Structure 1
Amino acid sequence: MPKTPLFQKPAAPQRAIRTAGALPPRPSRRSALLWQLAALVAGALLSAGRIYGGASPFGLALLIGCGTTYLPAAALGCVAGSLAFQPLDTALKLTGACVAALTGRQIGARLGKGSLIPGIAAGCGTLLLEQALIGLAGGVNAADNAAILCTAVLAAGFGAAIRALPAESPRGACLWLAMGTACLQRLSLTGFAPGLAAAGLAMLCCACAGSLEQTAVLSIALAAAVTAASPTLCFAALAAAMGALAAALLCPGERGHCAGVFAAGCVVGALAAPDLTGVLTLGLAAGAGVLLFLLCPDRVLRAVFPPPAPPAAAQSLTGAARKLSTVADTLSDIADTVTAVCARQAPPKGESYDFVVEYTAQHLCQNCARRNACWVQGYSTAMDGMYALREPLEAKNRAELEDLPGQLSVCVHPADLCATVTHGYRLWCSRRQTRARASVLRGALTEQYSAMATALAQMASQLGQAGLPDSRREARVSQLFASIGLEPLECSVCSDVAGRVTASVTVPRTSFSREECRALAEEMSRICRRDFDPPEVAHCRTVTMLRFGERPLFRAAFGMASRPAPPETVCGDACEQFCDSAGRAQMLLCDGMGTGKPAAVDGQMAARLTAQLLRAGFAAESAARLVNVALGLKNVDQESGATLDLLTVDLYTGRAGLFKAGAAPSFLCRGGTVRTLEGSSLPMGVLDSVTGRSTAFALDAGDVVLMVSDGALCDGSGWLCEQLALSAKLGQNPQQIADTVVASAVRRAGARRDDITAAVLRLER
């Protein structure tokens, strides 16, 4: 049916609006004639349809729901189709009902009362009145009464649906396809069901180009229509629906594979056929549907099923990921450009010892009477003498009279010469130090740019893999918080690529107790059908943000013990143990080089910076590079640094990663067997770039990982393996294991004691 407005507006306002260009121009005479012809054909086809029990509601429904412009043509088609395809007594009743519906709609439109209710009242009322009059004459039975009653009720319902659901909408298209499929069954031939073939074609097109939800709804509607028109083809309708759903689930968007899966579903459904005629009917209809589907152009499929636009939240995530990637590429290009330019840049003037010679010649010899004799006639001798002064200058940072070589004995101002050379040398040293410091700062800057670029690229990758929002769950969550008096300002429920669900809710600033958080987690688990942990609560100015994450498969139990090296009271080791918002357990140990407060400053600084970066979502390598830059700038004038021993465990899967930068070996105890985890590298803050080592492995419930600082290895690592195996066998908890290891290390170290720290993680269900 043509796309017309449900209610016709007065002609004058429409003419004024079209003149202003707000509406498209009226269709041409040929186009209008074609639409009228289409209304005539649709009326003839729909009036011919019958469903189980003898009801024929579709022609009358068309007259009740179609646009006023096409009403006469549709009525003519309905009358012609009824007289041509329906039994004579039924055709006469339907003809009277169609004429009454046409008259009722026109009268209602002229009176301004609308045309839907008058059409239903006139058409369906006339049909029921005709049946009642015939019943009074004693010419009908109960089956005829039931058929006419169903026709009237269904005609009113389908007519209202035609009016409410435009044909261009997905629901309207599904309604028209269902009615057309049921009516096409009247044109069945021996062994061929055109309605079933049309249903198979529509299901296949939706399975290939539409969504799984659309395919499910359309398959159910068309299967019901085929079954209602031909109950004997119930098995065939179910077979076609099963094949379409399997195609939409297994290979959406792949035309050849969709056709193959659909055909396989029909073959399986043929096993339920009552006889060979049913098998033949299903095979011919499915074959015709598959053939027409394969011949259908792609542009037609995309016109009917355009690719859906991603939700606004997904678009914003994609845009943010793209921006992060662009920023990462820009930072990386800046770092590479600065490094390349500085590498190719020639040493600036004043970087060689010639600066001292030129400084002396300009400031002392420029106005001397012997300048020509010294720097023109005796140039080689003067240069040799000046270079001979370099060794005493480097040794004592100044030149004295006894240091003057024989080549400079002709100088008439020896004291002034020594003072000028000394001053020039010190200026030269100052320039060299400034350049070296600038080189260090430039190297730190480019390394920081590069590390930030890597970290941002990783974040962009994670953001780009974020799942699409779940609108149904978001509505349930919003309703939950609204029911407790906290109307959410923002609500988001997403599934990531691994299928894990996270929910984020922003409400006006509110404090939550532990019991309230647990109660919220239980309600969220119930309405989302996922097992949620109590939420992470963060307050920001006037709002409170709650983040719910699925409860992981594992949980991490931590233990830590530490002892400073005597006579110091401050330990140079620093340890951080926590679980972040992404469901990962983090355990890191930093050992500052040396002992006492200087080592403690480096260790604490490295541990805290690394922990902050990990909580912000940085990977281990990126965090280590940034901390290395910070330590390098802090210790530019002294040799110091800190080791990094970092363990990251995914509590959902048990996958673990160990990153070491100059750290001592770690130990993994599994089933009573201890394995050493080593990675030789240099500490952070020593070189311009960190050279860490990463190791990946899997953990299971009951596995124990032990990290120690180098102070615990003064007596080797063999005893640590034995002690860890014994503690695991005795069933000690992580804190007891850490205390036992540190106490044993202190006894074994004796007078050679260094800072000793032990950090333990045990994975539990």
Structure 2
Amino acid sequence: MELILSPSRMKKIRYQFIFYITLISFLISIVHIYSTSLLFALPFFYVCFMCGYQSIIGYAIGLGIGVIFLDVPYDVFVISAISFVILEFCLLFQSMKSRYVPYLLTLIGGIYYAYIQIDLLSTLLLTILTYINTMIFTSLTPIFMHGEAELLTHERMKALTVVILICTMGLLPYSQMSTMILIRIFILIMIYHECLDDLLPGLFYSAMLMLLMDLGYKDDILSFLLPLFFFYMIPCHKKSTIVSLYFVSHLILPFFLDFQYTYHGFIVVASGLIFFILPMRLHKPVLSSSYQEMTFKQQLSKQVDSFCHLFEQMTALFTKAPAPNRSLEYVGYIYEDMCQNCSSQTTCFHKKYGPHRLVKLMNKGLKESYSEADEDFIHQYCLNPEKYLALVQQYRKDYRKIRRVQEEYKVMKNDLYHQFSLLNHVFHQFSHQLEIGHIEEKHIYEHMEGYHFQLAHLKKYYESQSVYYLEIGLYDMTREEIENEFIPILEAYLNETLDIEVIKTPMHQLGYTYLVLKHHTRYFIQYGVSQCAKESIACGDSYTIFSMNENDYFALSDGMGQGQKASDDSSLTLDVMKQLITNGISLNDTIQSVNALLKIKNRNDMFTTVDMIEINLVNGVTTFMKYGACPTYILRDHEIIEVESKTLPMGIISPLETMIQKQTLKENDMIFMVSDGFSGHFREFLKDNEYLIGDDHPKDIAHLFMTLANDEQRNDDMTIMVLKICKQ
């Protein structure tokens, strides 16, 4: 990629590219079928045409070498020049799309074959082969443009096999034995890299072309095709086993062809030994990485789903159920102590008509004090009223203690129920993200192809966590179409802005467009923080600053009270929020999780305020989240914008209503976040001292304002955070 490589490295790559183009054009120019190489040269010319003028120059040099030194017919050079003029004419008037060019070149080739008076059947065959070769060669355009192994899909691997074998066939008229050795070495290399399925189609097609060159190659073709079936039956991965099976597989050849032991034996032994001593690194199989990635994601997704199921079961343990009536249990205790042996027991606890009012008053007395009428009724109808009242009063104390414990247990149970429900939701969200995955190359590719854009290449490069490049190869796209259609659709899909870094249309509408888009931040934040503690032990205010992707986060928390306890609560709050956000948990889930944690931890004894700002450094959109916090002030061109929210601190109620406000910030906007240690009239304080700000750094402004505030009063811990929006 041009933006990643150094200029000297890019220059070297260009020279190598021109050399390879020259070499390929020279080799295919000497491959003749029916005394012409046009069916190979014309398709390769179109690839060079799409790659640009440098490639065309390399192509012309290669043909020229063949014409001058090896008596290649100059007709191929002339037909290529005519095709160039026709395509340039189409460019000038923008009268043809690239998908129609193979038909145009096939027509030009067919006219030439008829002109040189080949018989009708041969003319038809060469015309069809010209079209097939054009489609094969053009599928490799991204490889020639970018030279990256990641672009080697199975289809392109098959096409590349055909091109390599055609280039090798150019040596057949000059050294048949050397050519056969080279073909066999290439076959062994493909077997070593586990590309046998990609090799065979190209090998069969090239074998057909060799037979069209000369039927005398039949035995040579059979000699390298027949042994391949052994490698389908016996998989081999090491060089030694491949070479051993390679030698053994040739024992069948004398039964099928006129086997010349000296000629064929030398070819087999030489090719096997050369392959064995060649230094090679085993690369990953074509397209295997996506399979491995998918397998890993499926395993991880199963683990997350099992956690989801676990938390669903744990949540079910804390589902809200009606609490049992414990007062009836204590009525049973009174019955055992007093009524069990009473002569009126059957009257008070009548099986048919239900309990007497005296029994109902027992239940009432456990929950509240008796009225005067209730006591009169007890004295009138109970045989032992003094013992009755004494037992009720005794068990009332126990019952109330148990009742308080039950109430606390109920509150804790509700909090745990909410917390487990929240964790269950977080795991479900994570599982859903795993199923969808990040928007990477294949997702972008599929989405843009859905809009009928012809993408030949797409690669994503990360420069940092929030800066990346998209390198794209396109067919049939003008600059206007890219700017007005392609990029807006891509930005809408990614929900991100993209800038054009490089756009090259070497052959314009008919050619291959090279495009590099950059996603990066447009803003950065200058900030300054100043704190002053009321107690020398610790400041009850805490703050944190961190980044996640393209967002910067600034948070301020005030623990209720002063000292170490307040400091611990506020720092814990911010630390947990930071960990959740940086691990991909949404803002709403983060807020609810921290709120539930504080509610369980503090048991309603202490609360914590939270004032958080999320600034998107790409578009300047800023999200304000406030819970019991002081207003935030935006200073823009001497105008003060107040952002406030009347909400409770965290740790009081659960669930907590999410309160979010959004503002789009501009360059040089300043944001002031303060804790409640500042006076309640910070707006007036800011207005009175605005003239002192000037062009100072936010750090100096924060220290200045803290000094001025200390001169007025200090009734609590004080923290001020000053932010300034700056453009990159």
- The two structures have a TM-score, normalised by structure 1, of 0.47
Q: Scaled by the length of structure 2, what TM-score is found?
A: 0.49
**If you compute each CA radius of gyration, which structure gives the higher value, 1 or 2?**
1
